[in-house]
Structure 1
Amino acid sequence: MFTRKRSTRLIAATTALVAALGLSACGGADADSSSTTLSLVGFAVPKAGNNAAQKEFAKTDDGKGVVWKESYGASGDQSRAVAGGLKADYVHFSVTPDVTRLVDAGLVEDTWDDGENKGIVTDSVVVLVVREGNPKNIQTWDDLVKSGVSIVTPNPGSSGAARWNILAGWQQAAADGGDAAGTEYLTKFFKNVAALPGSGRDATAAFQAGTGDVLISYENEAILARQQGEKFDYVVPDETLLIENPGAVLKDADPKAEAFLEYVLSDEGQKQYVSKGFRPLNDTVEVGKVEGANDPENPFPTPAKLFTIDGDLGGWAAINTKFFDENTGIVTKIQQETGKS
C-alpha cells in the first residue's frame, strides 16, 4: 500500500443556507431522556459510509443511545455554514482547509490533526466514470480532452470533490511538463466540461440523468452507485491522486463524538467505509470482497503513479493560493477564460 504523507470567508446569508441544508435524523429511535443526539455535518459523498459506521458504533458501549442529526452538502458550503452557526459535534469534509476554517473560527482545536492519521478519516482515489461498455473508449486523462468528449465534474467554487478531480488532472500533466503543461491541459479540460454541479453527489446525479460522456469522481462514489444498481463503468487511471478526507470533533461537542471518531479510525470502523467503496487508511484493515468494484476480490488496485497533496503538490495552503485564489488562482482564471466559472 502507499506511504501516507500529510502535512475565510463567512457567508452573509447563513440562516438561509442552513435552512436549505436539509437536516435529517438517523441512527435509531427518536431522541429521549436516555439518548444522546450528535450532529454530523459533512460533504455529500461519504453519507453511506458514515451511516454504516454509525450503525455498528451503536452496538458498542460508547455508541449506545446515540441518535444522529445529519446535514450533507457541498464541502465548502457545509464548512462555511458551521463557521456561521450551524450546530455540529462532528464534521467530515472533503478537504483539510474546510476544517482549518473552523480552527480559525475557534470551533475546532488546532491539535485536531496531530494524530497518526493527521486528521484524515477516509481515503479514495480520483477515477473516470464512463457509460456502460465505455463507448468512447476513455482510458486515460488525455482521452478527456479529445474533441467530442463531454465532462461532468463538480464546481471547485463549492465542492471539495471538484478540487481533487481538477488537481489530479493538473498533476498528471505537470509531473513531466511543469506548470505550463498543467495549465494547457486544464484549459482543454474545461473547454470540454458540460456541467459543473454544486457537489460531488450532485455531479453523480447529473451523470446518472444522462449528462456527459465521463464523470470525474471518487472511486468510492462509483463503487457505491454500482452497488445501488447503476450500470456505468469506471476506470482507475495509471496516474491519479490520493483523496484524503478529514474529520474532526468540535470543541463543545458531546464526549460521545470523540468516541465516534475513535471508532471511525479503528480497523472495525474502517471496514464499514471499505464496504461502501473507500480505501482503508491502514494495511491492517481486512478488506475482503467489495461488491460494485471492477474486481470485487481485488477492489483497490494500486495505480502506477499515485500523487499526494503534500508529497507532490505542496500542501493545501500553497494549493489554495496557487490554484483557487478568487483573483489570481490558475483554475479561477481558466474557468473565467473558458466561460466555465
Structure 2
Amino acid sequence: MHRSFPRIAALAATGLALVAAGCGGASDSTDGADAGSSSGSRSTLSLVAYSTPQVVYDELIPAFEKTTEGEGIGFKTSFGASGDQSRAVEAGQKADVVTFSTEPDMTRLQDAGLVDDFEKVSTSQVSFIVRKGNPKNIRNWDDLIKPGVSVVTPNPFTSGAAKWNLMGAFAYGGIDYVDTLIKDHVKVQDKSGREALQTFTSGTGDVLLSYYYEAITAQKKGEELDVVVPEDTLQIDLLIAKTKTAGEGTDAFIDYATGPEGQKFFADWGYDPPSGPLKPAKNLKTIEDIGGWKKLNTELFDPEAGSIAKIEEEAGVSTAK
C-alpha cells in the first residue's frame, strides 16, 4: 500500500476573498447529486465523493472555475455514502477525483490499480450533536449510555462516518462499551452521515454521533442544535486523490482544494485543515494511536470476523457491503 501527503506542510487555513460562479460539467452517472452542464469545456472532470462535503464543493468548484487554472473546465459530481462511492468507482464508475472519509475506501482503489497516492484534504473530530441547550446534559462518552439516552449513528458497513464514530467509542471504552452503546442506545443506523443528520434534525434521537463540521453545516442551514466535543475523542482524516485515468486539470483542482484558497471553503463549513483540528480535544487520539486502519478495519469491521460486525449482526443490523 502506498500513500503520501505531499502538500500538508505547506497548507494554511487562511481566508482569501473568492468570487463564486456557476459550475458545469456533463453528467454520465446516476449516483448521488449531479452538477449541471456547460458547453465548450476543454475538459470535464468527474468528482466522486462521500456525502457530507457536498455543501463545500458546491461553492469551491465554481470558485475554481473562475481561476486561470480552472478556466474552461467543467465538472460532474456524485455524492453518497463513502463505501458505496468507493465500490462504485472500483466497479467502473467514471472518476477523475475521488474524496472519501476512510482510508480503506482509498486503499480499495489502490488495490484495484485505479489510484496511486492520496492525501488529506481536511480533518475533524468525532463529536456529539445534541438538541439546542443540551437538555440531557451530554458531555462525555459515559453520558451516551445512561438510561433513556437515544443515539443516532450511520451503518458502518456503508458509511465512513459510522466507522469513525464507532472507533471513537472503541478508543474510549473498548469493545464492551461499543456493545452496550449499539445494543442498548443506538436506535437508527442510516446509510450515510448526511442521512443520519437528516434523521436527527427530523426529531429522532437525543444525540447524533458525527463529525464536528456536520453540526456547523446544520447550524448554517438554520437547524437549532448544539455540538459537544468530548475530552476524549478521535481525529478524523478525510482524503482526496486523483485516479490514474484523470483528465486535464485534475492536479490543479486538487492543488486548489488542498491549498489556502480552497481551504477557506472547508473552514467556512466547519472543517479543520489537513494538519489537524485548530481546537483539538483535550485527549485527542489519531487512528495510528489506536492501531491504524489496516489492523482495526479487519479486527472491528470484517463482516466474517470483526468484533463490531458481530455486535451489529446481533443487533439486527445488516453488515452487507
Identity %: 46
Aligned twin of 1:39: 46
- The 8 Å contact of residues 131 and 213 in structure 1, kept in 2 or not, is answered as yes
1:205 aligns with 2:198: yes
Aligned twin of 1:292: none
- Offset of residue 264 of structure 1: 1.3
- Offset of residue 326 of structure 1: 0.8
- Offset of residue 23 of structure 1: 4.7
CA distance in 2 between partners of 1:164 and 1:34 (Å): 38
CA distance in 1 between partners of 2:58 and 2:266 (Å): 9
Aligned twin of 1:230: 223
- Offset of residue 48 of structure 1: 1.3
Amino acid at match of 2:65: A
Aligned twin of 1:81: 88
- The 8 Å contact of residues 126 and 236 in structure 2, kept in 1 or not, is answered as yes
State how 1:123-138 maps to structure 2 within 5 Å: 123-138=123-138
Amino acid at match of 1:77: D
1:309 aligns with 2:287: yes
- Offset of residue 19 of structure 1: 6.6
CA distance in 1 between partners of 2:29 and 2:95 (Å): 15
Amino acid at match of 2:250: A
Give the unaligned 5+ runs of structure 2.
1-7, 10-27
- Offset of residue 50 of structure 1: 2.0
Residues 189-210 of structure 1 deviation map (CA, whole Å, 9 limit, x = unaligned): 0021110000000000000111
- The 8 Å contact of residues 31 and 37 in structure 1, kept in 2 or not, is answered as no
- Offset of residue 124 of structure 1: 0.8
- The 8 Å contact of residues 237 and 274 in structure 2, kept in 1 or not, is answered as no
1:24 aligns with 2:34: yes
Aligned twin of 1:116: none
TM-score in terms of structure 2 length: 0.87
CA distance in 1 between partners of 2:250 and 2:274 (Å): 20
CA distance in 1 between partners of 2:131 and 2:268 (Å): 23
Residues 21-48 of structure 1 deviation map (CA, whole Å, 9 limit, x = unaligned): 245124xxx3323442111001001111
State how 1:149-164 maps to structure 2 within 5 Å: 149-164=149-164
- Offset of residue 95 of structure 1: 0.5
CA distance in 1 between partners of 2:55 and 2:88 (Å): 22
TM-score in terms of structure 1 length: 0.82
Residues 277-327 of structure 1 deviation map (CA, whole Å, 9 limit, x = unaligned): 1012248xxxxxxxxxxxxxxx953211111011x1221111111100111
1:96–1:135 Cα change, 3 Å: same
Aligned twin of 1:92: 99
3-state SS of 2:78 partner: strand
- The 8 Å contact of residues 21 and 73 in structure 1, kept in 2 or not, is answered as yes
Amino acid at match of 1:138: I
CA distance in 1 between partners of 2:87 and 2:195 (Å): 19
CA distance in 2 between partners of 1:107 and 1:282 (Å): 26
Amino acid at match of 2:227: Y
3-state SS of 2:249 partner: helix
CA distance in 2 between partners of 1:253 and 1:136 (Å): 49
3-state SS of 1:67 partner: strand
- Say which of 174, 189, 196 aligns to 2:181: 189
The Cα RMSD (Å) is 1.9
CA distance in 2 between partners of 1:189 and 1:330 (Å): 14
CA distance in 1 between partners of 2:108 and 2:50 (Å): 15
- Offset of residue 333 of structure 1: 1.1
Total equivalences in the alignment: 292
- Say which of 304, 316, 319 aligns to 2:296: 319
Give the unaligned 5+ runs of structure 1.
6-17, 114-118, 174-181, 284-298
Aligned twin of 2:238: 245
Aligned twin of 2:22: none
- Offset of residue 99 of structure 1: 1.2
- The 8 Å contact of residues 52 and 273 in structure 1, kept in 2 or not, is answered as no
1:329 aligns with 2:306: yes
1:262 aligns with 2:255: yes
